[in-house]
């Protein structure tokens, strides 16, 4: 099963990288861009687990390793069953 | 006293730290390999600076899962003295031995320069050789040193006097400009509640000899030696005043990453 996990900074945490990207987009004339938040994407291929097990293990992996819960949040989706 | 300097793949201040402890401070020092499962009877563990595991994922995030860190955690939990310098500080945060997290520096630049830090609390095992308000000149070299903690945690840290060092100007004044990386409350060094684990972004080992432009970093090492000697009850007063030993060559690293 293929899973995609998105990790990004919490709204309460300043994202200077996202701000820099936003400023660059403004310089290019994309003034419609109000805000940019930068994050990380992980694509994980799992085997031997059913859907219920995946739903249990993915948040665990994200919380323990992929994201630092003090500054980051995560979301995830199943790409291929 | 016996010091252990942990070597991770990507550590690059391990030899500097070893040199400062052994040749400058005159302490028995050994390297501890990241794959090791025992601390070889050291009195103090130092996590040196560098880019452990290439800083992949987040600075310090992978190093915390190495076998040696399990031992370091046990050692810290039982009251052992642990110092994390720069990347070592980041590892302590990721390992949960210190509270909070590191963000990218506010200007998104890798900062490599001398800074001034002020001793906020000298009643710790890492700062007792200095006085409160004393300004130290010690270099930094990092990308992720912008300390972050949620507001309630910050007030708790202040209340418990866990902030040991703050970035300041040469006169000891705090300002946005002197807070080079944008850290919350200008925090440069932080201690745990129990007082046996300290993390700091500045590199004391790079400010331990006159030839390096500053000897202020020795204050941190001599505080630790004093603390350990008192704890052991050797009664020897200022270990740091002991004659400087002859420089001994550093041992080669054995092991494969």
CATH number of the structural domain spanning residue A37:
3.30.1280.10
Query: According to the model, what pLDDT value does residue B252 have?
Result: 72
Residue B110 DSSP SS3: coil
Nearest-angstrom CA–CA distance, B75 and B84: 14
In chain A, the DSSP E strands lie at 2-9, 39-45, 72-80
DSSP secondary structure letter of residue A25: H
Contacts with A17 from chain B: Cβ below 8 Å:
104, 108
Query: Given 3.40.50.880, 3.40.50.1820, 3.40.50.2300, 2.40.50.1020, which CATH number is that of B2-101+108-241?
Result: 3.40.50.880
Question: Which chain A residues are within 8 Å of B58, Cβ to Cβ?
Answer: 68
The mean of the pLDDT values for chain B is 93
Domain ranges (residues) in chain B: 2-101+108-241
For Cα atoms B194, B47, B118, give the angle at the middle one, nearest 5 degrees: 65
Domain boundaries, position A73: 2-80
pLDDT digits (tens, 9 = 90+) for B144-197: 999 999 999 999 999 999 999 999 999 999 999 999 999 999 999 999 999 999
Interchain CB contacts (distance < 8 Å): A and B: 29
The answer to whether residue B19 is catalytic is no
Q: How many domains does chain A have?
A: 1
pTM metric for this prediction: 0.90
**Confidence check on the interface: ipTM exceeds 0.90, yes or no:** no
């Amino acid at each position: 099963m293929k899973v995609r996990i998105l990790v990004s900074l919490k709204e309460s945490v300043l994202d200077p990288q996202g701000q820099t990207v936003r400023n660059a987009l403004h310089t290019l004339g994309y003034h419609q861009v109000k805000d940019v938040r930068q994050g990380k994407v992980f694509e994980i291929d799992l085997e031997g687990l059913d859907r219920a097990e995946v739903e249990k293990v993915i948040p665990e992996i994200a919380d323990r390793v992929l994201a630092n819960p003090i500054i980051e949040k995560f979301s995830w989706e199943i790409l291929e069953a | 006293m016996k010091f252990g300097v942990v070597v991770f793949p990507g550590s690059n201040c391990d030899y500097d730290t070893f040199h400062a402890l052994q040749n400058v401070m005159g302490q028995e020092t050994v390297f501890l390999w990241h794959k090791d499962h025992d601390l070889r009877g050291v009195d103090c563990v130092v996590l040196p600076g560098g880019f452990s595991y290439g800083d992949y994922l987040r600075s310090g995030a992978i190093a915390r899962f190495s076998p040696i860190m399990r031992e370091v955690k046990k050692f810290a939990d039982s009251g052992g003295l642990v110092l994390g310098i720069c990347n070592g500080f980041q590892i302590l945060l990721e390992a949960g031995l210190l509270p909070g997290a590191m963000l990218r520096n506010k200007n998104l630049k890798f900062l490599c320069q001398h800074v001034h830090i002020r001793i906020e609390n000298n009643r710790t095992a890492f700062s007792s050789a200095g006085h409160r308000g004393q300004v130290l000149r010690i270099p930094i070299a990092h990308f992720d040193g912008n300390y972050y903690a949620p507001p309630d945690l910050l007030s708790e840290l202040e209340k418990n006097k866990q902030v040991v060092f703050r970035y300041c100007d040469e006169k000891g004044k705090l300002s946005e400009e002197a807070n080079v990386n944008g850290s919350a409350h200008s925090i440069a060094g932080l201690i745990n509640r129990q007082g046996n684990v300290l993390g700091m972004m500045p590199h004391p080992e790079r400010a331990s000899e006159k030839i390096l432009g500053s000897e202020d970093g020795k204050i941190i090492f001599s505080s630790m030696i004093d603390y350990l000697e008192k704890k052991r009850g050797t009664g020897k007063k200022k270990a740091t005043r002991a004659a400087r030993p002859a420089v001994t060559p550093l041992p080669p690293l054995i092991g494969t990453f």
